[in-house]
Structure 1
Amino acid sequence: MCACTDASDPLLRRLRLHSGPSRAGECSYPNAVRLEPDAGETHLALARYAYHGLSDYDRARAELDLARGTLPNDVDLFYITALIDRRQGRWAEATRSFDRAIALDPRNVKVLGVAADTYRALHRYSESNRLFQRALAISPSDHNLRLTLDGVLGRGNLISPREGFAGLAARAFHGPVAARTSFTAARASVEKIVRDQPDYAPALSLLDRIDAALGQKEEALRESRRACELVPLSKDAALG
């Protein structure tokens, strides 16, 4: 068992719980916290965990503030700050942080793509497309970028099954009747996720899009309302 800097810290307790053992039989990630608790890299890693693992944005900001002392120009410092600002609806601050991150690492495809998606959410389409094209010029075979640029079926970390993409293609080239079989198959797959995880908002949100494509208006509205109840804008401005 690792001896972290503060056994009462809930973040470190969760981190120790979720970390796998290293070859020495110790918890590798918390062990780094024990060995270099004041290092900027340590605080940056804790900020990532607080943001991605716990959705604890206040703690993530606190760790970023501590990291800033020794890593003032680290691209991830500004990138994670932008992600937090976006979640909290601080859009102007988010775009400034994205711009700073891009200035520090102009060929970082991940930052370019997420920044572009943020500008699109703000209806700043020319800036969004410029960043998407810039990212694609750097990494032309990046399928995730192309999917995001095309605005495919997806929500949060959940992407539609391939039948959903087939439905989009069929609808574009052959009309809604031809797309129905594919959308119906996609619905069955996503509906299973909703049955297993009824409070998983991204799945409900994706299901409502598929139902809308199938012309099932009442079902789509019901699923959409439920997803909004689970993740309201006050909780997550980016995905709410």
Structure 2
Amino acid sequence: TLLEGSVRRADSRVRITSQLVDAKTEEHLWAETYDRDLTDIFAIQSDVARNIAAALKSMLSPEERQRIEQRPTESIAAYDYYLRAYEYERQSNEKKVIEIAIELYKKAVDIDPGFAQAYARLGRNHAFMYWEGYDRTSQRLVIAREAVDQALSIKPDDPVVRMANGYYYYWGSRDYARALEEFYFARRIEPGNGLHAANIAWIQRRLGRFEEAVANLKTALEYDPRSSVLTLELGYTYYVLRWYDLAEQSYDRAIVLAPDYSFPYLYKAWLQVYRTGNTKSARQVLAEGMRLADPNEFLWTLVDFDIEDSHYNAALERLTAIPEDVWEGQWWFTPKEAYVGWIFELMGEPAEARQHFENARALLEKKVRESPDDERLHAASGWAYAHLGLADEALREGRKAVDLLPVSLDAFAGPQYLEDLAEVYTIVGEHDEVLDLLEHLLEIPCWTSIGALRFHRVWDPLREHPRFQALVKQYEGR
């Protein structure tokens, strides 16, 4: 059964049209149009919910009736900010989008300090800033905890509040068991909300239960089929399972749903690279994305393509156009200086390369002192030390990253740090250790693929090694 509708607002008036359609027969089960003053918006929501339940011949429990009748806030202005913030969240996981959502949620709670759901989602987004690597400071987690605690003090049993508490434990401390308790609690209260299935899927991925995560993400998309974020996340999950056709279908669907969202283009482009062994079709994907989304979101990936294609001057020129000194995300932290050093190394200018790697080293050592438990910093440090010829330091840092986030703790992200360590082993010339790691990575669900091993020049020192050749032959087509 599908719920369709539209909302039109003019000054203080609102028109809401809604209809319930049987998805199999296309029979219209119920339809209604509401022309009301905007101050009646909560009454309209309650009326719609009751009519849908009646059309579906569903009996509402007293608790469900209470939730339907309960207003989240008495302020229409606060609720307007809340809805706008939530719509931003649904667009993408990009930093600028989350920052806008945070500001809008702040406006909502400034207007109504008793708005529990707004506090909850404010806390959730602060926790996400930490998790995604946009801000790994302890202060960000303190702010997140304070907002969630405020929400809990107002409405401790509200499902939105309990979800936010679950996200805090998930993103703030990887306490998966406590997070699942919160997510299951919320689902018991709202069994018809598909978002709870997605929340459980996130944890299942970290626990290595990828096929269960796929099933839950599909369930979530049945409830919210137009979510580009859920669609893209399903694509990621297919990818680590090495179900590449399904991954590409999900990326394409995410692009249709949100053509100005950069991430689906980026992941589709890399999939094209690994399938074709070159960047030609991938560059076409990025060109389309740059036409519709923010072109700046694609620059770092284009630098990668230029390096792999030996277009070194183009890569250097592109880097000068990027204002940020670091490319960072949930799983990586790469100083621009490290990129420049690698380019000069590939150009056969070791003195120039060394200077830039030293600059990257100085930045990374400072960052490690500030955030000693950030696995991304240790992985990046290992790479920089390896290029400087400091093998012992490189291996120490690469192994530290793996120790901080082992596959046993995070089956989704953990393998990335094993691959980073494999790169360090390659650079310092310990090839048997590299091949041991690559064999393991190709046996488990993760991002490592034969296409990537064939394409990336970091693996060039292994090309003639009999074990590498046998490995590629063994896993070809998987």
For normalisation by structure 2, the TM-score amounts to 0.38
Q: Tell me the CA shift for residue 210 of structure 1.
A: 7.2
The SS at the match of 1:116 is helix
Q: Tell me the CA shift for residue 54 of structure 1.
A: 2.6
- CA deviation digits over 1:2-53, x for unaligned, max 9? xxxxxxxxxxxxxxx9348xxxxxx654233223222222222211222122
User: Does the CA contact (< 8 Å) of 1:19 and 1:30 recur in 2?
Assistant: no
Q: Which residue of 2 aligns with 1:52?
A: 171
Q: 1:18 aligns with which of 124, 142, 148?
A: 142
Structure 1: stretches of 5+ with no match in the other structure: 1-16, 21-26, 153-160
* Structure 2 residue 203 is matched with structure 1 residue 84: yes
Separation in structure 1 between the aligned mates of residue 195 and residue 257 of structure 2, nearest angstrom: 19
Q: Which residue of 1 aligns with 2:403?
A: 229
User: Does the CA contact (< 8 Å) of 2:151 and 2:161 recur in 1?
Assistant: yes
User: Does the CA contact (< 8 Å) of 2:200 and 2:216 recur in 1?
Assistant: yes
- State the number of aligned residues: 210
Q: Which residue of 1 aligns with 2:111?
A: none
Separation in structure 2 between the aligned mates of residue 96 and residue 167 of structure 1, nearest angstrom: 36
* Structure 2 residue 235 is matched with structure 1 residue 99: no
Structure 1 115/192 Cα, relative in aligned 2: closer, same or farther at 3 Å? Answer: farther
* Structure 2 residue 234 is matched with structure 1 residue 115: yes
User: Does the CA contact (< 8 Å) of 2:231 and 2:254 recur in 1?
Assistant: yes
Q: Which has the higher contact order (CA 8 A, sep 6+)?
A: 1
Q: Tell me the CA shift for residue 227 of structure 1.
A: 1.7
Structure 1 133/211 Cα, relative in aligned 2: closer, same or farther at 3 Å? Answer: farther
Q: Tell me the CA shift for residue 87 of structure 1.
A: 0.6
Structure 1 92/33 Cα, relative in aligned 2: closer, same or farther at 3 Å? Answer: same
Q: Which structure has the bigger radius of gyration?
A: 2
Which one-letter code corresponds to 1:18 in the other structure? V
Q: Tell me the CA shift for residue 208 of structure 1.
A: 5.3
Separation in structure 1 between the aligned mates of residue 220 and residue 175 of structure 2, nearest angstrom: 22
Separation in structure 2 between the aligned mates of residue 216 and residue 167 of structure 1, nearest angstrom: 24
Structure 1 75/205 Cα, relative in aligned 2: closer, same or farther at 3 Å? Answer: farther
Tell me the C-alpha RMSD between the 2 structures: 3.6
Q: Tell me the CA shift for residue 112 of structure 1.
A: 1.4
Q: Tell me the CA shift for residue 230 of structure 1.
A: 1.7
Which one-letter code corresponds to 2:308 in the other structure? A
* Structure 2 residue 309 is matched with structure 1 residue 173: yes
The SS at the match of 2:171 is helix
More divergent stretch after superposition (161-170 vs 62-71) = 161-170
Structure 1 206/98 Cα, relative in aligned 2: closer, same or farther at 3 Å? Answer: farther
Q: Tell me the CA shift for residue 133 of structure 1.
A: 0.9
Separation in structure 2 between the aligned mates of residue 211 and residue 115 of structure 1, nearest angstrom: 36
Q: Which residue of 1 aligns with 2:376?
A: 202
For normalisation by structure 1, the TM-score amounts to 0.70
Which one-letter code corresponds to 2:239 in the other structure? R
Q: Tell me the CA shift for residue 72 of structure 1.
A: 1.2
Q: 2:183 aligns with which of 48, 64, 67?
A: 64
User: Does the CA contact (< 8 Å) of 1:166 and 1:182 recur in 2?
Assistant: no
Q: Tell me the CA shift for residue 94 of structure 1.
A: 1.1
Q: Tell me the CA shift for residue 151 of structure 1.
A: 4.4
Separation in structure 1 between the aligned mates of residue 150 and residue 234 of structure 2, nearest angstrom: 33
Q: Tell me the CA shift for residue 58 of structure 1.
A: 0.7
By percentage of residues, which structure has more strand?
A: 2
Structure 2: stretches of 5+ with no match in the other structure: 1-140, 272-296, 317-338, 343-352, 415-478
Write the mapping of 1:140-159 to structure 2, written as runs, cut at 5 A.
140-151=259-270
More divergent stretch after superposition (216-225 vs 107-116) = 216-225
User: Does the CA contact (< 8 Å) of 2:159 and 2:186 recur in 1?
Assistant: yes
* Structure 2 residue 166 is matched with structure 1 residue 30: no
Q: Tell me the CA shift for residue 82 of structure 1.
A: 0.7
Q: Tell me the CA shift for residue 64 of structure 1.
A: 1.4
Separation in structure 2 between the aligned mates of residue 75 and residue 208 of structure 1, nearest angstrom: 41
